[in-house]
């Protein structure tokens, strides 16, 4: 089973003498974003290479602006940062998140596994919503997080219907994330053709060891995907094929709702 450090992207700090205050504040925020729990100032200083006094001073400024929150003696990302983050991809993502939340909730009730809603942004996917229960598998997915599309279920479900994005992803290279990651362009193209035919995508520990998922696209009025839904769980306990029928049913209803809404908007 992978640890949280296996999923965390490495920071690329500037040389200490070249860092501005903004650089240092951003390094602190990136370090906080890599973890799902509060972190103390000493640990943050160690992880970022900042002095404890500098980290404490910058955290105080960020706290006053609601960018971070203090919980006892520890820190976590704040509500203001979340509000800013939800605007990064514009009103479309917010609309999708609100309109498709009932279907995400339906899917969770059917499966009681971790469920995701994601959109494609260039060659990456962005998670716009997520629901999980008490037995959630360790995962790099967080609301607002971005991951390469080629190695995630939701990403492949979307790339299968976007030839340009798929070819761009292959041209950029397909780095290995785990021993199961598809890194050969021809093999990925074959898999995307199968997904277009069958309408369902799988991630078999490709983005993180111990994590598997099954995903389907949500189609809009133009016949192209507007988002993707997935069900994920810990491998080998998680039987992805078992959840495919429920996922297809919910995605069908969500696609009908999105198509109707888009048709009304364009009328």
> Domain segments of the chain: what residues?
4-84, 89-266
Confidence of residue 66 (pLDDT cuts 50, 70, 90): confident
Q: What is the pLDDT of residue 212?
A: 93
Strand partners, 120: 125
Residue 4 predicted with pLDDT over 50: no
Distances (CA, A) of 183 to 11, 150, 177: 24, 9, 9
pLDDT tens digits, 222-248: 889 999 999 999 988 888 889 999 999
Distances (CA, A) of 89 to 21, 85, 124, 128, 131: 27, 8, 13, 10, 20
pTM of the model: 0.72
Distances (CA, A) of 177 to 12, 19, 29, 102, 164: 18, 30, 24, 32, 23
Q: What is the mean pLDDT of residues 59-64?
A: 92
CB 98 within 8 A of CB 86: no
> For domain 4-84, which architecture applies?
Orthogonal Bundle (1.10)
**9 secondary structure, DSSP code:** P
For 89-266, CATH gives: 3.30.450.40
Q: What is the mean pLDDT of residues 152-166?
A: 97
- Whole-angstrom distance, CA of residue 133 vs CA of residue 125: 23
Confidence of residue 12 (pLDDT cuts 50, 70, 90): very low
Residue 47 predicted with pLDDT over 50: yes
């Amino acid at each position: 089973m992978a640890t949280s450090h296996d999923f965390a992207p490495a920071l690329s700090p500037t040389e200490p003498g070249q860092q501005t205050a903004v650089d240092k504040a951003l390094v602190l925020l990136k370090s906080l974003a890599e973890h799902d729990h509060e972190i103390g100032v000493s640990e943050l200083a160690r992880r970022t290479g900042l002095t404890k006094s500098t980290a404490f001073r910058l955290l105080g400024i960020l706290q006053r602006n609601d960018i971070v929150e203090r919980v006892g003696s520890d820190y976590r990302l704040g509500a203001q940062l979340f509000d800013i983050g939800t605007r990064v991809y514009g009103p479309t993502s917010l609309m999708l998140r609100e309109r498709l939340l009932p279907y995400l909730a339906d899917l969770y009730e059917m499966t009681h596994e971790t469920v995701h809603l994601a959109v494609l942004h260039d060659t990456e996917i962005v998670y716009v919503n997520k629901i999980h229960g008490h037995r959630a598998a360790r995962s790099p997915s967080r609301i607002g997080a971005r991951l390469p599309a080629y190695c995630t279920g939701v990403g492949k479900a979307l790339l299968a219907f976007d030839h340009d994005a798929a070819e761009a992803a292959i041209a950029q290279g397909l780095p290995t994330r785990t021993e199961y990651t598809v890194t050969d362009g021809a093999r990925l193209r074959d898999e995307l053709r199968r997904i277009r035919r069958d309408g369902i995508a799988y991630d078999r520990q490709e983005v993180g060891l111990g994590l598997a998922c099954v995903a389907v696209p949500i189609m809009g009025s133009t016949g192209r995907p507007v988002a993707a839904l997935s069900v994920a769980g810990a491998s080998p306990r998680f039987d992805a094929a078992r959840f495919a029928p429920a996922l297809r049913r919910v995605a069908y209803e969500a696609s009908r709702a999105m198509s109707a809404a888009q048709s009304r908007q364009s009328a």
